[in-house]
Structure 1
């Protein structure tokens, strides 16, 4: 059995008993629809980890995305805890294990960083923040993911924001990068608007910058960022199941992350829907790895 390298060569625990500021873990399966095969997503986390390896010896170097080294001149404070055991179609079991791992990381306390997996892993990830609210969600996605059920399943990849809206510890939702058609019929749009979700289309970000999204996040709020890879433009993120032109650029995505880190507090992050069978020259995995570096850099620079 081949053991995959950790993201950026991070250890699974810090030396001298220090507590990490952030913990990376992966979950290949969440809630798979009956009759569907979600195995194409299982290799996503390891593809991202592999894409990070060239930069592993350079962690102490200056990073122009961050305006300094990854850990800002401080000791390394992130670990890679490996993978949560998940089994395709063991939907309830997968949800329980993902939620339990999220709670475990939050109890350290540390910022949990989840690598999916399809968008269904987001539901138990967010559920794990119960008791740590109030939480805002910043979703980066081409779709609003507000279906109540699909094929009689309420916890699949089309429903994470609908389920989040029902969680008592979730205070608000900002949905960024929306475009084209997909999971949103008129009924879903109306349900999201009744809840009070703030929609920010990709065109609005292109026209007005990331402030068009950030202005909806209360200053000082604790925010979980959920990033569906199809929220980015397929020219830089082709490895997705639903390529949609007009998505966010890499620079817009990292500016959104950095801006959020300054305006509020990043309490958690997940990256989902990377589909390695559709990737081109491993470009999507590399882009995802760089996004993850920016998240870790933003978390490192947060006070407290």
Structure 2
């Protein structure tokens, strides 16, 4: 995609000879939600970019979430390459586009940040790390996403990302944070996740015990891919989701999880998905998502 307005005004590429440390891209479609209209996710990246557009002139200002300006005195080294040309009912092609883009960014020595897109898009994003060193996945979500299949055989759709991740040899471990309520999983799926060794940390545990109840499960020095489903946060601050569930994480808890992950190991990738734009209220989800991405970028840039 050309001619788009990059997140925080980031360019599509840097001047010749300069290599980005971080590359953002959008992934509007993954694997089709059979019987459902996925078009509500397709404009998520554009809405998030628009929500933070006015801040593009302020990136040298003090950011109280980060304890200093976004780039922390460093040369700006972020690009936003726009949205991939994914399309409805091109499931396998969409997955390959996402995985290939992720591999391309990693091979250039940069950190990929993907803005989804529906809940199936993390599967090829994770797959794109296959040629790099092992990663741990830190999932922030209301649901554990361990379904084997949906709709009579679809294995790469929504509700299956963490099941598919568990089958990837380069995924060293999984920590799942924010689960709550009915509908998050069937009994067999919880048992399968635990048998694999996934650490499931409920939203109640985070509220009662703090973020260390999740971060402690990740080994020191690990390479970490953070995958954030918008319904992991409470719907009072992120209403733009299909399955709003009360009791979710707060904005502060999420940015503290991101900061703690950067301190625990190294954030190797980040995705934010499941922003259903027709369900948003007063642009609140777009704004909150944009601010979370700013925090993720700031923490990644502060990594040694």
1:145 counterpart = 2:150: no
SS in 1 for 2:121: helix
Residue 146 of structure 1 contacts residue 183 of structure 1 at CA under 8 Å; is this kept in 2?
A: no
Give the deviation of 1:274 after TM superposition: 0.4
Counterpart in the other structure of 2:205: 204
Counterpart in the other structure of 1:109: 109
Give the deviation of 1:34 after TM superposition: 2.9
Compare 69-78 and 28-37 and name the one that shifted more. Answer: 28-37
1:64-110: per-residue Cα shift (whole Å, max 9, x none)? 00000001011111110111110111100000111000000001110
Pairwise mapping of residues 38-77 of structure 1 onto structure 2 (< 5 A)? 38-77=38-77
SS in 1 for 2:236: coil
Give the deviation of 1:178 after TM superposition: 0.5
**Unpaired segments of 5 or more residues in structure 1?**
none
Counterpart in the other structure of 2:166: 165
Give the superposed CA RMSD.
1.2
Counterpart in the other structure of 2:280: 279
Counterpart in the other structure of 1:221: 222
Counterpart in the other structure of 2:252: 251
Q: TM-score, normalised by structure 2?
A: 0.98
SS in 2 for 1:15: coil
Give the deviation of 1:183 after TM superposition: 4.1
SS in 1 for 2:5: coil
SS in 1 for 2:120: helix
1:112-163: per-residue Cα shift (whole Å, max 9, x none)? 0000011100000000000213110000000000000001100001100000
Cα distance in 2 between the residues matched to 1:262 and 1:208: 19
Counterpart in the other structure of 2:294: 293
Give the deviation of 1:227 after TM superposition: 0.1
Give the deviation of 1:3 after TM superposition: 5.1
SS in 2 for 1:68: coil
SS in 1 for 2:268: strand
Give the deviation of 1:35 after TM superposition: 2.9
Give the deviation of 1:207 after TM superposition: 0.6
Counterpart in the other structure of 2:231: 230
Deviating beyond 2 angstroms after TM superposition, the runs of 4 or more aligned structure 1 residues are 1-4, 33-36
Residue 148 of structure 2 contacts residue 160 of structure 2 at CA under 8 Å; is this kept in 1?
A: yes
SS in 1 for 2:155: coil
Cα distance in 2 between the residues matched to 1:150 and 1:3: 37
Cα distance in 2 between the residues matched to 1:244 and 1:122: 21
Give the deviation of 1:4 after TM superposition: 4.1
Cα distance in 2 between the residues matched to 1:46 and 1:198: 33
Cα distance in 1 between the residues matched to 2:183 and 2:72: 40
1:11-42: per-residue Cα shift (whole Å, max 9, x none)? 01123521111100001000013332211100
Cα distance in 2 between the residues matched to 1:235 and 1:3: 34
Residue 150 of structure 2 contacts residue 157 of structure 2 at CA under 8 Å; is this kept in 1?
A: yes
SS in 2 for 1:293: helix
